[in-house]
Structure 1
Amino acid sequence: MSQTDVPYHKARKRFGQNFLHDHGVINEIIASIHPKQGEHLVEIGPGQGALTAGILERAGELDVVELDRDLIPTLLLRFGLNQNFRIHEADALKFDFSSIKNDERPLRVIGNLPYNISTPLIFHLLSFESMIKDMHFMLQKEVVQRLAAKPGEKHYGRLGIMAQYYCKVDYLFTVGPGAFKPAPKVDSAIVRMTPHGELPHPCKDVEKLSLIVRDAFSQRRKTIRNTLKQHLKVEELEALTIDPSARPEVLPLADFVRIADYLTDR
């Protein structure tokens, strides 16, 4: 069954659906993922199967997680005869990804994620990072910019810091609205997130780190001495060799980890 034979399905706004149809973009995404035989891939929100066919052909084994039950018959019609294709009708935000890991192989996760759930879904997936080799996502361009941002860049903030605590993040390429039906109002981008085998800056209490980063960026134009004044004094920041007059967007992850560890020990 070819892509042109796919039954018509009206994209649903409540599921944030925008179906990828540009074959050049599809091939570029698959080339970036570079799936190989013997690997175990997981696709979140396969939609009408634009990426599914190429991934399944190259990798040989694919689990897909799809929330929209009206899309499942189409996916089963196209791929159901392949014994290495498994479909899970579920909400990816609540799905237990460890339930599909059936051997020592790590999971490779891919997805064209709805903009409205992309951030919470990424953090849900990070709770399984020990069993994931890498993740490739199509997201709103601004979200990818935030995920990949470095200290001093305007998109640098809580999302990037916490993602980079767990993963190496690479902005791969931009995808224009015309690659989708219906066309979204914004550009999209492809991001690769590769969990660190060993955390570069391990923190004693990750929840404390998340709290400190959240508070530091609650008023990003203010200095650290002001945004973190409820947590520690100017003298304590200076003792940690952190400039109290610095704004949060210039502090690297390592500095936030040192603050969090100090507060945990205190």
Structure 2
Amino acid sequence: MKKPKLGQVFLTDHNILNKIINCSEISEDDTVVEIGCGDGILSKAIAARAKKLIIIEIDPECIQRTQSALKGMDNVRFINQDIRNINYSDFLSIPCKLIANIPYYLSSQIIKQLIAHKSLFKYAILMVQKEFALKIIASPGQSLYTPLTIFSHVFLNPSLLFHVSKNCFSPKPKVDSSIIKLVPREKTLYHLTQHSPFFKIVKGLFWGRRKTILVALKKNPYISLKKDFQNLSIIDDIGRKRGETLSTKELFTLFEHIKPFIIID
């Protein structure tokens, strides 16, 4: 039985399942972590190809059904736990591949976990809401271009693989889904080291989405700047533009110029 409170929708289209398996490029040497096993259809296909499959699932009923589907397979481990409370280093010692068909509301959480434990993952194949996927790959100036876009590209190399119709699920969700691939970067984009102040600047620029860069920086609710930053030549050049029109590289360049003017609390 699907449990709406857990945000469960189960993929029923075998063609889509096969496409996910093909995109995952699982080999007999791979350890795979699967988040959310559903009825075990995808789990069985993964277990047949991987050296080891670790399934993280909060619902005991899903675990029971998947155990039945995987009967006779001895390379599978189940962890009955909420993914939000997982510490991957407790059970992973070598880089693995992550495959997840999760409730949409957990998508951002999974990405943050992937970044926090990036040394433990080769890449992730995630089923997410279509709009969420489009935010990840959006370009400057588009309405779906958000701080999430910037955050994802700084730490990950994201790509959109394909879309999945809502008709491929049971129960049928209200929106379509997409499959994305996220590869952790060995080094952050542009070798960014001061993550927190950079993203506070970015959030401030998008918080003032209809404001010019100059006004958004002056009124940034997340971080304060010395007034002298207004005299920078880069502010003369781009101060009248809007933050959402800047590429990740342009945002990084802006940050490098205004970094000395950040007021440290």
Would the TM-score normalized by the shorter structure come out above 0.5?
Answer: yes
For structure 2, the residue ranges without an aligned partner over 5 or more in a row are none
**Whole-angstrom distance in 1 between the partners of 2:19 and 2:74:** 27
Q: How does 1:69-218 map to 2 (within 5 A)?
A: 69-79=60-70, 81-102=72-93, 105-218=94-207
Structure ranking higher in helix proportion: 2
Is the contact between residue 139 and residue 145 of structure 2 (CA under 8 Å) also seen in structure 1?
yes
What is the Cα-based RMSD across aligned positions, in Å? 1.9
Q: Output the CA distance in 1 between the equivalents of 2:244 and 2:18.
A: 36
Most deviating of 256-265 and 42-51: 256-265
**2:203 and 2:177 mapped to 1: Cα distance?**
25
Aligned to 1:219: 208
Tell me, in whole angstroms, the C-alpha distance in 2 between the residues paired with 1:46 and 1:228: 45
Q: 3-state SS of the aligned residue for 2:104? A: coil
Task: Tell me the TM-score normalised to structure 1 length.
Answer: 0.89
Q: For 1:189, give the aligned amino acid.
A: S
> Structure 1 residues 200, 99: CA separation in 2 closer, same or farther (over 3 Å shift)?
same
Q: 1:64 maps to which residue?
A: 55
State the alpha-carbon separation in 2 of the partners of residues 114 and 154 from structure 1.
24
**Alignment partner, residue 29 of structure 1:** 20
* Cα pair 1:203 1:261 within 8 Å, conserved: no
Cα offsets for 1:212-243 (capped at 9, x unmatched): 22111113222211222144456355347860
Counterpart code for 1:202: H
Alpha-carbon distance in 2 for matches of 1:258, 1:91: 39
Letter in 2 for 1:206: H
Counterpart pick for 1:251 among 240, 246, 249: 246
Supply the distance in 1 between the matched residues of 2:237 and 2:130 (Cα, whole angstroms). Answer: 32
CA offset at residue 248 of structure 1? 1.5
Q: Does 1:38 pair with 2:29? A: yes
* Aligned-partner Cα distance in 2 for 1:38–1:53: 16
CA distance 1:89–1:246, change in 2 (3 Å)? same
Taking structure 2 as the reference length, what is the TM-score of the superposition? 0.89
Equivalents in 2 of 1:236, 1:193: separation in Å? 39
Equivalenced residue count is 255
Q: Is the 8 A contact 1:25 1:175 kept in 2?
A: yes
SS at match of 1:164: helix
